A and B are shown apart, each in its own frame.
Chain A
Amino acid sequence: MFETLRQSLKTGVVTTSYPLTPPEVSLRARGKPEIDWVNWRDARPAAAVCPTGAIECGDESAPNAARTTTLDLGKCVFCGLCAEADMAIRMTNQCELASVTREGLRLTAPANSSAAIANRQSPIADRQSAIRNPQSAINQSLLTSAATGRTGSVEAVGRQLQDRIQSVLGRSLHIREVDAGSCNGCEVEIHGLNSPVYDIERFGIHFVASPRHADMLLVTGPVTRNMELALRKTYDATPNPRLVVAVGACGCSGGIFGRNYATCGAVNTVIPVDVYIPGCPPIPHALLHGILLAIGRLKQVTVIKS
């Protein structure tokens, strides 16, 4: 026992200070693909190599077809094949990609590209500033992703409800993880959250054994037909108010497997989803970001910092 204590003292604290500091992700890690929309002339070569169809070409006959193209981070497996096929795409190591709407994961060209070029920095310039000053860019992205899809008076009620849920669940949260058809990759990373490195319990967040004890379902997919009923029952067994977070490319969109005779695809085809965390699998930082986003804790962190 003394030996154990000695070693523990020698090792010291290994826990990351994320989200107060930027995620410790190596520069080689493949995160969000960034597109130089202005110089992206033809999206077809990149779309042709994408294994999950995350790049959807617009009208191919249009003079600048790439402008109408969508890159769907919910389908992306971050393999980087598109970046090999097309110089206009670059893989960054940005991993904080969670969104409160599915729509928020679809990247499109700025509405008016030429005006965009004149008025704001190009994506490449954004990225360069991000490298110079990572924290400001991250906070920016947190605020924008948190705000995505929350505009318009119709959604004001929804926003209030969301705020109330967050005030109820935001301080201490119990999570029930449900694997509804994943490859176990997401589970390995979710396990990582309980390790001393990420130590999710420092936020008052615990993984629990039953949906009846849970405030949040953390669901991985693609939801198989054989798990559809079990997932619905788990959702029904979770008391209100409850949050659902869809994890990974398969959970967000059906990912690598999509829909077939054996799978229903994305989690939101079976139960309503509050937050989407892209990745294949999302690294623990990305998971933490998504969970904290779901309970409104990221804004607090930003406020405390500023």
Chain B
Amino acid sequence: MNATLEFAKLGNATSLPWADVPEWRADEFVAATATELDRGGRLCAWFGVPEGDGTRLVAVLAYDTDNTLAVGRSAPVKGRYPALTPRCAQAHLFEREVWEQHGLVPEGHPWLKPVRRDHGAGPAVGEFFRVEGREIHEVAVGPVHAGIIEPGHFRFQCNGEEVLHLEIALGYQHRGIEEALAGGPHRATLSQMETVAGDTSIAHATAYVTVLEALAGTEVPLRAQWLRALALELERLANHTGDLGALANDVAFLPTSAACGKIRGDFLNLTALICGNRFGRDLVRPGGCRHDLESVRAVQLLKKLRGAVAEVDEAAAWLWDANSVRARFEATGAVSAEQAVEMGLVGPAARASGLVRDVRFDHPAGWHRFAQIPVAVWPDGDVLARARVRWLEIQRSGKFLEEHLAAPPEGEIRAGAGQPAADTLAVALVEGWRGEVCHVALTGGAGRFRRYKIVDPSFHNWTGLALALRGQAISDFPLCNKSFNLSYCGFDL
């Protein structure tokens, strides 16, 4: 291996010329990536870039404690390369994806099968991991579920009530988003970014415009960065509140469920107060924000926010005080810290297993460079821990909003967006309410997208749910699933 070659370092929300990204031979690149991951790096993205009749592999790594990102690439490769997964399990879905998108076979991958595409047969048609034995039975659920949720397929291997293994087959929500971005940005691109996962509109839109701004060298006005940060926390409040309510509903604790259903709507209305849409659609624009928050409305917002946070306070207190709730939440669906590190979990799911991992803290960009939120961590890794982390984050987001609504920076809300630079790679991470939203753009000669990679936090975390179910009663699946509340469409793209 070329010992002098090192991954190129960059910060969050920055770009570097494609030519400056160091290049290895494919097998050496896999080895170099494994070495970096072994010494504490984390895999944010791993994807292919077609070139000639081959494909380059690209890795984006994060060193959370050093607040640094790193990027490297391989020379164009055809046919096959030695898989990274046997050494670093967190790469397993990424390598399946590269195989599906570019036909590159990762040799030695233990479970190579499609991620989203059906090849004509339907996404869940094909081989599933099976446990053999006379007492073993298999349970298949989905794609159409019993609740008002997105489609996906779950295949359980059970011994009586006990789940020995869960395999999750997704792809039903695949809408071809990455493919639609080639040659972009197009007129519909921003709308598509806001609907990568419709409940995460602000985080995905912010990641997208941050990439564009990094490519164009745009300096975004502080006031716009401030407003984006507020909207991101409002999104977190609405979704976390909804999740606490849904968790309460799953254990038939209806007071909290009913109250949270109402309060979630109140938080959505606060976002609508800023921009006219309950999901923050069309608030975030390249170069800034489309709507401003004048002081009169900021005061209105603050007043309503205080009321809503106080209401969640009460509703959550009922939940923690109920023995019947604790009995169902405690020690259910536990994921250990070791497992969370190995699988590269992100967001509340990782923090509930004791990992201090939060983009707002580790890789601050935009307003978070000046205003940080303490990372909410809980050690146990079970359903209770995931609920507790959400609860802590509700409180901290509420405080953050109170503090920053009172002290808005003056100035413009939007700057000229500028043209994206040619042959440049840009990376943006945003801590959405489910965790790290990662967008990577590579432009071609004309400054248009040559390759655009989106990694929703759910892409990292679905495996966490599968691990949480091991040894659990199958009847606890809905509760475990709700405690992660992952995105199907964000995964399927």
Contact = CB atoms under 8 A, between A and B. Distances in A.
Nearest to B188: A51
Contacts of A181: 172-173, 175, 489
B187 interface: yes
Interface string A1-29: 00110011001001000000000001011
A26 B265 CA distance: 13
B191 A256 contact: yes
Contact of A187 (B118, B148, B276): B148
Contacts of A70: none
Contacts of A143: none
Interface string B391-408: 000000000000000000
A3 to B, nearest CB: 7
B276 A257 contact: no
Given A179-B151, A227-B151, A191 B282 contact: no
A230 B261 contact: no
Interface stretch (A100-108, A134-142, A164-172, A258-266): A258-266
Contacts of B317: 3
Contacts of B147: 209
A224 B172 contact: yes
Given A30-B277, A209-B147, A184 B487 contact: yes
A26 B198 contact: no
Contacts of A187: 148-150
B244 interface: no
A187 B145 CA distance: 13
B149 A224 contact: no
B253 to A, nearest CB: 10
Interface string B176-216: 11011000000110111001111101000000000000000
A229 interface: yes
A158 B433 CA distance: 48
Given A80-B276, A177-B148, A260-B179, A52 B191 contact: yes
B148 A207 contact: yes
A185 interface: yes
B150 A79 contact: no
Band of interface residues on A = 35 or more
Interface in B441-461: none
B174 A224 contact: yes
Contact of A191 (B201, B255, B261, B487): B261
A256 B278 contact: no
A183 B174 contact: no
A184 B143 contact: no
Give the interface centre of A177, A230, A281 by most chain B CB atoms within 10 Å.
Answer: A230
A225 B321 CA distance: 46
> Which of B149, B201, B276: most chain A Cβ within 10 A?
B276
Contacts of B199: 183-185, 188
B377 to A, nearest CB: 27
A110 B192 CA distance: 33
Contact of A195 (B171, B261, B314): B261
A80 to B, nearest CB: 7
Given A79-B281, A261-B179, A184 B272 contact: no
A224 B172 CA distance: 7
A35 to B, nearest CB: 19
A257 B146 contact: no
Given A4-B255, A29-B272, A197 B265 contact: yes
A78 B171 CA distance: 28
B122 interface: yes
Nearest to A4: B255
Contacts of A52: 188, 191
A28 B314 CA distance: 30
A182 B492 CA distance: 11
B489 to A, nearest CB: 5
A290 to B, nearest CB: 16
Contacts of A284: 265
Q: Which of A3, A51, A78, A281 has the most CB of B within 10 A?
A: A51
Nearest to B255: A4
Contacts of A195: 258, 261-262, 264-265
A91 B199 CA distance: 24
Contacts of A26: 269, 272-273
Interface in B255-281: 255, 258-259, 261-262, 264-265, 268-269, 272-273, 275-279, 281
Interface string A199-233: 00000000101110000000000101111011000
A82 B165 CA distance: 52
A283 to B, nearest CB: 7
A183 B148 contact: no
Given A79-B281, A185-B199, A280-B281, A8 B255 contact: yes
Contacts of A50: 187
Contact of A196 (B144, B195, B197, B262): B262
Given A182-B198, A183-B198, A263-B175, A210 B146 contact: yes
A186 interface: yes
Contacts of A194: 148, 261
B191 A225 contact: no
Contact of A185 (B174, B177, B195, B242): B195
B417 to A, nearest CB: 14
B403 to A, nearest CB: 25
B318 interface: yes
A179 B175 contact: no
A177 B145 CA distance: 9
B286 interface: no
Contacts of A234: 144
B143 A80 contact: no
B123 interface: yes
A29 B276 contact: yes
Given A30-B277, A195-B261, A222-B175, A188 B150 contact: no
30 contacts: A8-B255, A26-B272, A28-B273, A29-B277, A77-B281, A79-B281, A79-B282, A81-B282, A91-B276, A178-B144, A179-B148, A181-B172, A182-B489, A183-B195, A188-B199, A195-B264, A197-B261, A197-B262, A211-B144, A225-B174, A226-B123, A226-B173, A226-B174, A227-B172, A230-B143, A230-B172, A256-B192, A257-B175, A257-B192, A260-B175
Return the 5 tightest CB-CB contacts between A and B, nearest first.
Answer: A185-B198, A183-B198, A195-B261, A262-B176, A209-B146
Interface of B: 116, 118, 122-123, 143-144, 146-151, 171-177, 179-180, 187-188, 190-192, 195-199, 201, 242, 255, 258-259, 261-262, 264-265, 268-269, 272-273, 275-279, 281-282, 314, 317-318, 321, 487-489, 492
